[in-house]
Amino acid sequence: MNKAYQRAYKIFFYQLLIIVIPLLVFAIPGRLLDKKYDTAPIYLIVGILVSLGITIVLSFVMTKKITANLESMSRRKQPGQKDGADQKDKPASK
């Protein structure tokens, strides 16, 4: 499989985990607390809001890491390129 596809699947999988795990960790106990104290849907909503906040923060951190990785990959020297000189700056050979 192509490396680009592997990276895309990896990002998709991590993003799925970033969404699902906090939701399960906070929403299910919220629902159980609502049943126990007969306060539906207060704890469930609080659990969903907490998981949403965690998901936003983790997604932001993941996006920053991916962006930094892409920037470092774009700064690498290209084969045959000297000292960061761009191919467009070279005079056309006849």
75: which 2 tokens?
Answer: 């700064």
Is 32 inside any structural domain?
yes
Q: How many domains does the chain have?
A: 1
Question: Once rounded to an integer, what is the mean pLDDT over residues 20-47?
Answer: 95
pLDDT of amino acid 78:
59
Question: In this structure, is residue 9 part of a structural domain?
Answer: no
Quote the CA–CA distance of 30 and 51 in Å, as a whole number.
11
Q: Is residue 94 part of a domain?
A: no
Of 72 and 89, the structure prediction assigns the larger pLDDT to 72
> Residue 58's pLDDT is what?
95
Q: Tell which residue, 55, 51, 60, has the closest CA to residue 25.
A: 51
Phi-psi region of 62 (alpha: psi -120 to 50; beta: other; left: phi over 0): alpha
In a domain, 4, yes or no: no
DSSP 90: S
Residue 2 lies in a domain: no
The mean of the pLDDT values for the chain is: 85
Domain that holds residue 62: 19-72
- Which DSSP letter does residue 39 get? -
Q: What is the pTM of this model?
A: 0.71
Q: How confident is the model at residue 76 (pLDDT cuts 50, 70, 90)?
A: confident
What is the spatial distance between Cα 77 and Cα 67, in angstroms, rounded to a whole number?
Answer: 18
pLDDT digits (tens, 9 = 90+) for 18-29: 999 999 999 999
**pLDDT for the residue 19:** 94
